[in-house]
Amino acid sequence: MGELLAKLAAWRPFTALVVGDFMLDQLVYGDAERMSPDAPVPVLRVHRTEALPGGAANVCLDIVALRGRVIAFGVTGEDAEGATLREALGAGGVDTNGLITDSARPTTVKRSLVGLAQHRHPQKMFRMDMESTEPLSDGRLEELLRRFDAALADADVVCIEDYNKGVCCERLCCAVIERCRSAGKPVIVDPALIESYERYRGATAITPNRTEAELATGRRVGDAPASVDQIDLAVTMARGLDLEALVLTLDRHGALLVENGGEADVRATHLPTVARQVYDVTGAGDMVLAALAAARANGTSWPDAVRFANAAAGLEVEIFGVKPIPLERVHHALLVESRKLLGKERTLEEAAIEAAALRREGKTIVFTNGCFDILHAGHVSLLRKAARMGDALVVGINSDASVRRLKGPDRPVHHEQDRIEILSELESVDMVIVFDDETPLKLIEAVKPDVLVKGADYTRDRVVGADLVESWGGRVELAPLLEGRSTSGVVSRMRSARSGSADGPPVSPRGAQDA
């Protein structure tokens, strides 16, 4: 996960060519609160309609949301729906110069009737498809390839989105894959529900779901995740089709990745996904293709690319309809997942990556630091107040060696790993970083907090990093302290108790909370 997060922190724009079946999804929304008097069917009282790019067009918008430049290659009809689709793609930042028109076929339209019963969530009631599945004519196919050839040199990755609507015929797929292999460009395919995958031979990778793979091979493997049968099927397909990788998507069970390095080097890895509330699976396959392409264009390994795609597709199924998932949301989901795996302790590099991702989402980052040797109510109060000043609280703590230099040879009372564990259990704390320097200045430079917090026993001119934080538009906050709480006082009273003096020294009237 660490390598993937590092790739995300250094994410760069890329160029993708998307070849496939471009569709228009029409959603007709209304109330379905009564039955027709003349037939046993619900009546939809229409409130509004919505037209969205679907199929390969949805892949294009997904890639744009992941910061890719996209050129679309496909066919639409010479009709109003085709014009609407082109306009929507253009508005979404997609280059449509690779789309051609064909007066002999209609634009593929999927019209869904969506009812809202008893003011609850929307539910698809019925769908109507307007389409032609006839293969492209020779003239249209040659024109499409001419436009594709003109753009291929600038591509970082090529996607084929096949819905078996006639555009991705065997001649087109084979020609695109051959051109990509000759040019050294990766080509990733989301295959159709068809009985043979021969048209995808030589692609870099394909992404069938279990049902598609079973139909294409004529084998039943069941739904147990990463079973021996599933692995054998995936390995056989990867070898038989001369693929570099095959990603067998397994719905709630994540994905099975097969990396084909040759006869003696085939690796199968099951990559589970986070369990989510599934609301609508529409567009999940498109999202997997887009995310894999984006991740591979950014140099991630195949396992990390699948992890990224799992996270993106998981977010997609949590919403109704088809909506592109921005890179920041996927990044954040992976950060949340990493916290569950890693806890709250971070290295300097990990904290900088996570802070950068949160900042891209518009989150406010708060930083404070101290020894936090013996945690007491004063510490808890300070951390709670600091957390309320933003969205994520980063806490820097002095290493054991640093504490000894500051406090003397008999400190710390608790070693740094114990202090990390204790702070990590506080709800107010999001990240904990250990530093060995005299000051936390390197941490502040790396994390770039929006708010720098210290206790009110400090003055602004004594706060390390104050000028730095203010230089990028941040602010310094001095949080009020609880009276009479300090670590030094606690240690002194403990020593006095051991020596026989029950009262111990008086507490500081300033209520100092030296950490």
Q: Which residues are catalytic?
A: 286
* Burial class of 222 by CB neighbour count within 10 A (0 to 12, 13 to 18, 19+): exposed
Is residue 358 within 8 A of residue 365, CB to CB? The reply is yes
**Maximum C-alpha span of the chain:** 100
Closest-CA residue to 292 (of 492, 158, 148, 450)? 158
Alpha-carbon gap, residue 443 to 447, rounded angstroms = 6
Q: Which residues, in sequence order, are bridge partners of residue 368?
A: 395
* Burial class of 106 by CB neighbour count within 10 A (0 to 12, 13 to 18, 19+): middle
DSSP 167: S
Pairing label, strands 266-271, 255-260: antiparallel
Place of tokens 């406090």: 407
Alpha-carbon gap, residue 170 to 425, rounded angstroms = 58
Q: Which amino acid is at 178?
A: E
Alpha-carbon gap, residue 242 to 490, rounded angstroms = 69
Handedness of CA 401, 407, 410, 415 (dihedral sign): negative
Closest-CA residue to 75 (of 179, 165, 174, 193)? 165
Q: Which amino acid is at 96?
A: T
Q: 71 is written with which tokens?
A: 């050129």
> What is the four-CA torsion angle of 182, 188, 194, 199, rounded to 10 degrees?
0
Contacts of 489 (CB under 8 A, 6+ apart): 505, 507, 508, 512
What phi, psi does 165 have (nearest 5°)?
-105, 15
What is the H or E stretch that residue 113 is in? strand 108-116
Is residue 263 within 8 A of residue 236, CB to CB? The reply is no
Place of tokens 């986070």: 274
